[in-house]
Amino acid sequence: MRFDDDKRIVLTLDAGGTNFVFSAMQGNREVVPPITLPSRGDDLETCMGQMVSGFTSVQKRAPAKPVAISFAFPGPADYPNGIIGDLNNLPAFHGGVALGPMLAAKFCLPVFINNDGDLFAYGEAMAGLLPEVNEMFAKANSPRRYKNLFGVTLGTGFGGGIVRDGQLFIGDNSTGGEIWMLRNKLFPQANIEESVSIRAVRRVYGEIAGMPCKDTPEPKDIFAIARGEKPGDKKAAMEAFRRMGEAAGDALANVMTLIDGLVVIGGGLAGAAPLFLPALVAEMNNPLTTLDGRSLPRMAAKAFNLEDPASLATFIAGKITEIAVPGTDKTVRYDSLQRLGVGISKLGASKAIAIGAYAFALAALDR
């Protein structure tokens, strides 16, 4: 929201293994029709040529001269220095490619590259869930405000990004927020992505329905089966999403114990939230047991499902009292309910990433 009325233009790119989609942003909005070119990730020279061609085309169509280039690109990478490492889906990027410096030299513009999970989180912090929740607190005359957010994307993989007090946190090795590498509660020998991804939903459905994984429906169809909108094994469909929610909730409980803020979920699987979000939040609140048998809260703060109206109302209301200031006749308001909110992106992952890329570039230039 901070940049809604900003007149500066930033060139952007949605980089995929098959296609590159170029555009330009102004005031948190796309102002150039997207231009799609094959990525040609098998040949470095051709791939670089496609990038130059794409950015040149959108620059010519932009209503004003751009101030920067900013986009998401797969890792591993040294993002602050714009160097891309070895990529699986773009094999030409092996041994390190100085993509940012190349584009900066070609266009004489600052270039900012980040991970898509990071930019999703940043976009949600700037213009998505975080300001939306704080606006609800303001309307309720609550003293509570949130400054920290963890964004996750559910789809082919399980991506993540951390925003702390308006700043994107990427870590010293550009690997902050890599939630996909956490240990899997359901399969402790595996990483969490094996249970939180498209392939995980299909695998569990196939296991329960007695169907080879290669023949299982896509998640959107499994979701429709669970809702009774398509024929299939409804019990298997519901369990596939519930199990994903349980696994994701365990991972997020670990993450939010350290970060303490809001959680926003986006990506292709986010539309199935009614089937996995209750299990996810329940798992975040699932208590631990001490060695002498006592129950212990999983997290210091309780998780609330912001998509459930009753849970949202309790989250916004908090537990506010007036307490006396010792030695004076004054009182202060005290909200004693320690809580975390978990919500679904209203922007959508693609828009949040674009806004994140735009806002990141302008914030960096302003600093």
pTM equals: 0.94
Helix (H) or strand (E) holding 37: strand 35-38
Output the tens digit of pLDDT for each of the chain's 367 residues: 578 899 999 999 988 778 899 999 999 999 999 999 998 888 899 999 999 999 999 999 999 999 999 999 888 899 999 999 887 777 888 888 999 999 999 999 999 999 999 999 999 999 999 999 999 999 999 999 999 999 999 999 999 999 999 999 999 999 999 999 999 999 999 999 999 999 999 999 999 999 998 899 999 999 999 999 999 999 999 999 999 999 999 999 999 999 999 999 999 999 999 999 999 999 999 999 999 999 999 999 999 999 999 999 999 999 999 999 999 999 999 999 999 999 999 999 989 999 999 999 999 999 8
Could you please state the CATH topology (level 3) that the domain comprising 9-114 is classified under.
Nucleotidyltransferase; domain 5 (3.30.420)
Q: How far apart are CA 225 and CA 231, in angstroms?
A: 6
Q: How far apart are CA 113 and CA 76, in angstroms?
A: 12
CATH 3.30.420.40 matches 120-366: yes
Q: What angle do CA 35, 40, 42 make, to 5 degrees?
A: 165
Q: How far apart are CA 153 and CA 130, in angstroms?
A: 16
Residue 25 vs residues 1, 12, 71, 251, 350: alpha-carbon distances, Å: 14, 7, 11, 34, 13
- What torsion, rounded to 10 degrees, do the Cα atoms 152, 153, 158, 160 define? -40
Q: Which residue has the tokens 């005031």?
A: 27
Amino acid 94: pLDDT: 81
What string of DSSP letters covers 196-230? SSHHHHHHHHHHHHT--GGGSPPHHHHHHHHTTSS
- What torsion, rounded to 10 degrees, do the Cα atoms 283, 280, 76, 200 define? 100
Q: How far apart are CA 255 and CA 301, in angstroms?
A: 12
Q: Which residue has the tokens 């595996």?
A: 190
Main-chain phi, psi angles of 4, to 5 degrees: -60, -35
Q: How far apart are CA 298 and CA 250, in angstroms?
A: 9
Q: Which residue(s) pair with 23 in the sheet?
A: 12
| Domain locations in the chain as residue ranges | 9-114, 120-366
Q: Which residue(s) pair with 167 in the sheet?
A: 164
Sign of the dihedral defined by the CA atoms of residues 173, 194, 243, 345, in that order: positive
Among 217, 221, 228, 214, residue whose Cα is nearest residue 271: 221
Q: How far, in whole angstroms, is CA 122 from its chain's centroid?
A: 8
> What 3-state DSSP class applies to 124?
helix
Contact 129, 350 (CB under 8 A): no
Helix (H) or strand (E) holding 254: helix 234-259
* Token pair recorded at residue 4: 């809604």
Looking at residue 145, its amino acid is R
Which DSSP symbol is given to 22?
A: E
Amino acid 1: pLDDT: 59
Amino acid 330: pLDDT: 96
Sign of the dihedral defined by the CA atoms of residues 241, 246, 250, 256, in that order: positive
Q: Do domains 9-114 and 120-366 have the same CATH topology?
A: yes
76 cis-preceded (ω within 30 degrees of 0): yes
Contact 179, 159 (CB under 8 A): yes
Which DSSP symbol is given to 183?
A: B
* Token pair recorded at residue 10: 């930033």
> What 3-state DSSP class applies to 232?
coil
